[in-house]
Chains A and B, each alone.
Chain A
Amino acid sequence: MRMELIQPFINAADAVLGQGLKTPTSIGNLSMEQEAYLRKGIAALVWVTGDIEGRIIFDMDSETAVRIANRFLETEPPESNELVREAVCEMANQVTGNAIATLNDEGFHFRIHPPTTLTAEQGSKGTEDTEALVLCFETCMGSVFMNIALRYNVAKIQRRDGQTTANVIDGCANPAPATAVQSVAATAGNKSK
């Protein structure tokens, strides 16, 4: 994955969590995962299709999810489990939607699909071009994990624009750093508050 795909998601998650929780967030652990995804607690999955394809998973333990749902709605516990799951889905939807909006304004075209609750304990094993970046956002309510696996749909971009892949990708966004992991890690450090 390249940096220009990841940064909008970091910015969007920071904004959505910050506004909803009314406190700043910081980015903790960051890692690349190529093994099968393992669910940590209550998780929401959003698929994206178009020039960029893949999925984003928001995942947190159930206690954190309850605290976040209650803070977002300014209610006291207990809320129903269904509403807590819906809260995680809506948060995933807002982060993905905001990030997609940024990428769309940069020239990428795609569609965001309605979020779903992830019930499987384990996802499929990642492949070379869909390896997942896992970011941990530290909030006052607990840790929120964002697991991103996205890739360029090169064929679709070429068909639409009739350009070479390199031209399309390089022309649509800022120059990418040498390696995504290094640049994301550097960004995470800068974003931490």
Chain B
Amino acid sequence: MEHFAPVRRTKDGQPVRYLVVDDSVFARKNLARIIEAFGGQMAGEAADGLTAISEYSRVNPDIVLMDITMPQMEGIEAAEKIMQQHPEARVVMVSSVGYQENIVAALQRGARHFVQKPVKAEVLYEVIKYVLGEDGTVANAAGAGAGS
């Protein structure tokens, strides 16, 4: 895994907290590994959209990484419901089913971005910085903050 300058929360300099939603344990573990490389922290995980909604309220993450194809409730519907309850939520869809129709549907329901699987860490890194905007800060090598 390549090294990335840690991305921190601007308000308190703490690691960015992620909720990872994917029905695949393997995919969640893979994303956790990437999040760690970004200097982030796993706030929670869920294996379906329904659980994701309750987990969001429980852990209040900075970013949600959400798969689409899942049992019980799919990711686009879950993203919509999270956005209805928490308009400030930042949901990034992470799915292999990256056709235009799906991407548009996800964005229309409030997702901030779409990342195609297999996830390229450098792509997700740029998306995370973009989605955080001024609420995220990239720490330099010496540990001092630098604007994203």
Interfacial residues, chain A to chain B (CB-CB below 8 A): 15-16, 19-20, 69, 72-74, 82-83, 86-87, 89-90, 93-98, 100-102, 104-105, 109, 112-115
11 A-B residue pairings within 8 Å (CB atoms): A69-B26, A73-B30, A73-B33, A89-B24, A90-B24, A94-B118, A97-B95, A97-B98, A104-B102, A109-B101, A114-B69
Contact B96 A93 (CB under 8 A): yes
Tell me the bound Cα distance from A95 to B116 in angstroms.
11
By DSSP majority rule, is chain A's interface helix, strand, loop, or mixed? helix
User: Which residues of B lie under 8 Å from residue A95 when comparing CB positions?
Assistant: 96
Residues of B within 8 A of A112 (CB): 69, 97
Q: Is the CB of A86 within 8 A of B25?
A: yes
Cβ-neighbour of A90 out of B27, B70, B100, B102 (below 8 A): B27
- A93 and B69 within 8 A (CB): yes
List residues of chain A with CB within 8 A of the CB of B118.
Answer: 15-16, 19-20, 94
Grouping DSSP codes into helix (H, G, I), strand (E, B) and loop, the B interface class, with mixed when no group exceeds half, is loop
Q: With the chains together, A11 CA to B35 CA distance in Å?
A: 28
Q: What is the size, in residues, of chain B's interface with A at 8 Å between Cβ atoms?
A: 24
* Chain B residue with Cβ nearest A102: B99
Contact across chains for A89 and B96 when beta carbons are under 8 A apart: no
Complex Cα distance, B123 from A67, in Å, reads 25
> Residue B62 at the A interface, CB < 8 A?
no
Please indicate the chain A residues that have their CB under 8 angstroms from the CB of B97 in the complex: 97, 100-101, 112
Question: Which chain A residues border B26 with CB–CB below 8 Å?
Answer: 69, 72-73, 83, 86-87, 89-90
Looking at the assembled complex, report how far the CB atom of A76 sits from the nearest CB atom of chain B, in whole angstroms: 13
Contacts of B70 in A (CB 8 A): 114
B116: chain A residues within 8 A (beta carbon): 98, 101
Beyond A69-B26, A73-B33, whether A94 also contacts B117 by CB under 8 A is: yes
- Chain B residues with Cβ below 8 Å from A20 are 118
A87 to B25, CA, bound (A): 8
Task: Find out whether the CB atom of B99 lies under 8 angstroms from the CB atom of A105.
Answer: yes
Within 8 Å CB of A89, what residues of B?
24, 26
Given contacts A16-B118, A19-B120, A97-B117, contact A74 B96 (CB under 8 A): no
Interface string of B107-121 (1 = CB under 8 A from A): 000000000111010
B-side contacts of A86, CB under 8 Å: 24-27
Interface centre among A104, A109, A115 (most CB of B within 10 A): A104
B23 within 8 A of A: yes
* Interface check B141, CB cutoff 8 A: no
Chain B residues near A96: list those with CB within 8 A.
Answer: 96
Task: Let me know if B1 is at the binding interface, CB within 8 A.
Answer: yes
B136 CB, nearest partner CB in chain A, Å: 25
Q: Which residue of A lies closest to B29 (CB)?
A: A73
